[in-house]
Structure 1
Amino acid sequence: VKSLALEAGVPVHQPVSLKGTEEEEVLCALQPDLMVVVAYGMLLPESVLAIPRLGCVNIHASILPRWRGAAPIQRAIQAGDAESGISIMRMDKGLDTGPVYLIKRIALAADETGGSLHDRLSLLGAEGLMEALPGIADGSLQPVAQNAADATYAAKLEKKEAQIDWNRPAAEIERQVRAFNPWPVVFTPYENANLRIWEAHAIDGVTAEPGTVMSATRDGVDVSTGNGLLRITRLQMPGKRIMDAQDFINSQNIQGMLLG
């Protein structure tokens, strides 16, 4: 956005914070009709929200009121949601609590990752914004209040969440793998290091103690979980490139080991 703005001769201002009279004066001087917020990560002061004639709108990457908060994309995948989408909402003083102008929905693919859903919702968000702006400008599109009783919270991602608990069902771990790709990427302790897992699938099969590597073939590294097997197909050792299962087992004798 910054690069395109500079190319077009549009002034760019990058405040560290909007909590100050100087920053508010800069915004007031622009006499904005509308402010659009995308992935800003902080609440705007009410004094800033009041500056634009038409208010401030936010493109939020979920179907509000589900998944208010910092990580709606990852939490939707992690929870096994069948769909996601974007909400064009009028901002208020709360965290993603404002009334909604427009919602656009998409079905989640079986192999959806945090990265792929981010990219799909980015395009959908731009489309939704362009669809909503004329109605916001002329007043024909009025926002609808959210039902707070249906709200869920998408907590910020923490690196510590990325460690696999092999006692959980394989289906849950698979969703964790997909949700946390490309960040923070799930891992499991292996030979005094963290083995990062980029792609995996829940499958049926004979199990043992959770974390036990039941087999290691060109098809994948099959690990026993609390319910079912997790077949790991792409993984990465520290300081190494991401590799498929075949390349990994060519250099690592992992079958029978207990991970975690």
Structure 2
Amino acid sequence: MRVAYAGTPEFAAAALASILAAGHVVPLVLTQPDRPAGRGMKLQASPVKQLALQHGVPVVQPVSLRLDGRHPADAAAAREALLAAAPDVLVVAAYGLILPEWVLTLPRLGCLNIHASLLPRWRGAAPIHRAIEAGDVRTGITIMQMDIGLDTGPMLHVAETPIGADDTTATLHDRLAAQGAALVLRSLDDAAHGRLHPVVQPTEGVTYAHKIEKAEAAIDWRQPATVIERRVRAFDPFPGATCRVPTDGAAETVKVWAARLATGDVPAGAPGQVVAVDADGPCVACGDGALWLTRLQRPGGKRVSGREFLQARPVPTGLVLG
């Protein structure tokens, strides 16, 4: 199989590595343009681009694929590259650009998408984050034949995985990336032998996983403790749940990387009030229930346990967090 590939982050790099290892010919990779990253804000290639270059695979990085859009030259160059690559199929995983119709119809077997949810639940940009945030107990990978809609195409293969009580977006991401890398090989093998059996997505149960915004990071202590605890896990590693901790007449923004639901006899308090402190860290009252904050990070610091945080920055009971 001649398998062109479109993807950008680590999630997509896992599947590309699997396709290369399986012996498929990858004549072309599409990925997002290099972006500034790190403290020095130097341009950095995406994980997919880095992997492609290691294997000598040609890479194109259009800003857009719309021939009638704001960057028609980029789109036209990408079209010429795809035509020259003559792929049997285009595999897409977390690419980051909308594929117009000319892309979807160019490969003779169409475009296959590796999507990190059990469609039609969590169509859209952030299915892993939103599944954890919503309290879903299971998720998975769907290999989908792409159409012009947003994750609306027929399903080809589905694999499930449970969401553990301590799963974060980081841990679930890694598990789903490996699952997707294995499942896409099955779909490619079936495509090569004419064994694909597309199944139309159900019309019921459709939800949308909207893109994660930095503004969502701030904890609203008026929410129930169960909701906040899920959001802490959903926002690890990005954008990281945050709260404001008063200090010497000012306040600093602290990231909360882990929290545990308080059980037993915990003093009552207003939302955001520190109602207890022990070796695990501070316990904060919420709109319903309370949370022990067990892993935190001060500005410019590193992630530390609740105990280490309190040693460096005491938090008395009665203090109200923002």
Give the TM-score band, short-chain normalised. Answer: over 0.9
* Match of residue 162 from structure 2: 107
In 2, the alpha carbon distance for the partners of 1:41 and 1:3 equals 17
Report the AA paired with residue 319 of structure 2: M
Give the 5 Å matches for 1:139-158. 139-158=194-213
In 1, the alpha carbon distance for the partners of 2:312 and 2:204 equals 53
Q: Is the 8 A contact 1:207 1:225 kept in 2?
A: no
Bigger shift: residues 8-17 or 78-87: 8-17
Task: For residue 257 of structure 2, give the secondary structure of its aligned residue in structure 1.
Answer: strand
Task: For residue 308 of structure 2, give the secondary structure of its aligned residue in structure 1.
Answer: helix
Correspondence 1:18 to 2:79: no
Task: For residue 149 of structure 1, give the secondary structure of its aligned residue in structure 2.
Answer: coil
Correspondence 1:159 to 2:214: yes
Correspondence 1:55 to 2:100: no
TM-score (norm 1): 0.96
Q: Is the 8 A contact 1:43 1:94 kept in 2?
A: no
Q: Is the 8 A contact 1:203 1:229 kept in 2?
A: yes
* Match of residue 149 from structure 2: 94
Give the 5 Å matches for 1:203-242. 203-204=262-263, 205-242=266-303
Selected match of 1:9 from 38, 41, 56: 56
Q: Is the 8 A contact 1:219 1:233 kept in 2?
A: yes
Give CA deviations for 1:57-98 in whole Å, capped at 9, x if unaligned.
110010000000000000000000000101100111111111
The structural deviation recorded for 1:29 is 1.6
Structure 2 unmatched ranges of 5 or more? 1-47, 67-74
In 2, the alpha carbon distance for the partners of 1:169 and 1:146 equals 34
Selected match of 1:38 from 88, 93, 98: 93
* Match of residue 319 from structure 2: 257
Task: For residue 86 of structure 1, give the secondary structure of its aligned residue in structure 2.
Answer: strand
* Match of residue 75 from structure 1: 130
Selected match of 1:138 from 175, 193, 203: 193
Correspondence 1:176 to 2:231: yes
Task: For residue 109 of structure 1, give the secondary structure of its aligned residue in structure 2.
Answer: coil
Structure 1 unmatched ranges of 5 or more? none
Report the AA paired with residue 198 of structure 1: W
The structural deviation recorded for 1:136 is 1.8
Q: 1:214 to 1:44 in 2, by over 3 A?
A: same
Report the AA paired with residue 69 of structure 1: G
In 1, the alpha carbon distance for the partners of 2:145 and 2:289 equals 44
Q: How many residues in Structure 1 have an aligned counterpart in Structure 2?
A: 260
Q: Is the 8 A contact 1:203 1:228 kept in 2?
A: yes
In 2, the alpha carbon distance for the partners of 1:248 and 1:212 equals 17
Q: How big is the alpha-carbon RMSD for the aligned residues of Structure 1 and Structure 2?
A: 1.3
The structural deviation recorded for 1:36 is 0.5
The structural deviation recorded for 1:125 is 0.3
Report the AA paired with residue 297 of structure 2: Q
In 1, the alpha carbon distance for the partners of 2:196 and 2:312 equals 60
Q: Is the 8 A contact 1:195 1:237 kept in 2?
A: yes
In 2, the alpha carbon distance for the partners of 1:86 and 1:248 equals 38
In 1, the alpha carbon distance for the partners of 2:61 and 2:123 equals 25
Identity of aligned residues (%): 49
TM-score (norm 2): 0.78
Q: 1:247 to 1:8 in 2, by over 3 A?
A: closer
In 2, the alpha carbon distance for the partners of 1:3 and 1:22 equals 21
In 2, the alpha carbon distance for the partners of 1:251 and 1:3 equals 39
